[in-house]
Amino acid sequence: MQVHLRHNPSFAVARLVLAPGEPVRVESGAMLATSYGVVVEAKMQGGLLKSLARAALGGESFFVSTYTAPEHGGWVDVAPNLPGDLQVVELDGTVGWCITRGCWVGSAAGVNLETQWGGFRNLFGGEGGFLVHAAGHGPVVISCYGALDVISLQPGELVTVDTGHVVAYADTVQSRIRPVSQGMLQSMKSGEGLVFDFAGPGQVFTQTRNPRGLVGWLQANGLGARD
C-alpha cells in the first residue's frame, strides 16, 4: 500500500493506493471515495471483545471497514472528522506506536491494532484511559485536530504535553500521566488538568488544537448536542 496526502495541512485527505487484491483497514466512516470496483466489508476487527474494547475504551468505531482492490488495483480516499493534518507512520516490525483517542484513520493489512491502558486520566474525564496500539508492518495513517508537530526526543530528554494535545508516540518513548499542578484540585482550578511526561528516545506527535476545547466552546455557546 502506498499513501499520498493532499489538501494538508488544514483539510488533509489520504489516498491509499492498493495493489491488485490488496486489502486495507479503515476507521468506520472515514472513507471519502474509492476507485470503481473496490469491495468494502465492515466487520468486528479481532473479535467481539477486542472490538468492544477499541470502541468503548479506545474511542474508535466498533466496526472496522476493510477495502479490497479488484484485480487491476485501486485506491481509497480517507479523511478524519475534524479539520487538520494527517501523518503517515511506516511500521517496520520493530517499533510500535501508541495512538490516542480517535486519531487512527487507517492502516495496511499487516498492521495489528490492540487496545491498551494509557493511564488514569480516564477516571477524571480526560481523553480516555486507553490507547490504540499499532504494531507490525506497513503504513499507518494518523489524524490530528489542527496542525501536527513532531517532537524528536534524544535519549533521556524530557518534555511535558497536555493530554488533549497528544496524538501518538513511539514505543521507545517512556510516558507517565500526572496532574499539571500539585494535587488534582489545583489542576482543575488552573484549567489545564492532566499532562503527559515523555522521556526519549523517540518521537511524539502533538496537535495544535484540543478537541476537548472545541466541545467546551460549543457547549458554552449553546451549540452542543441536544436531548
pLDDT at residue 129 in the model? 55
Local structure of residue 84 (DSSP, 8 states): B
Asked if residues 134 and 106 have their Cβ atoms less than 8 Å apart, the reply is no
Helices (H) and strands (E) in the chain, counts: 3, 18
pLDDT at residue 225 in the model? 57
pLDDT at residue 118 in the model? 59
Three-state DSSP class for residue 35? coil
Mean pLDDT, the chain, integer: 84
Local structure of residue 211 (DSSP, 8 states): H
Structural domains of the chain sorted by starting position, each given as residue range(s) with its CATH number in brackets: 2-220 (3.60.160.10)
CA distance 165 to 147: 11
At residue 59, does pLDDT exceed 90?
Answer: no
Give the mean model confidence (pLDDT) for residues 96-124.
Answer: 79
Give pLDDT tens digits for 193-226. 789 999 999 999 999 999 888 877 788 887 765 5
In single-letter form, the type of residue at position 72 comes to H
Beta strands in 10-147 (DSSP E): 13-18, 23-27, 31-34, 39-43, 64-68, 74-78, 86-92, 97-99, 104-108, 111-117, 130-143
Element (H, E) at 213: helix 211-220
pLDDT at residue 124 in the model? 37
36 contact partners, CB below 8 Å, separation of at least 6: 74
Asked if residues 34 and 67 have their Cβ atoms less than 8 Å apart, the reply is yes
Q: What is the CA radius of gyration of the chain?
A: 18
Give pLDDT tens digits for 143-190. 999 999 999 999 999 999 999 999 999 999 999 988 887 655 544 444
At residue 69, does pLDDT exceed 60?
Answer: yes
pLDDT at residue 215 in the model? 79
Give the mean model confidence (pLDDT) for residues 101-122.
Answer: 80
Reference 81, options 98, 109, 59; nearest CA is: 59
pLDDT at residue 121 in the model? 38
Give pLDDT tens digits for 150-161. 999 999 999 999
Element (H, E) at 188: helix 184-190
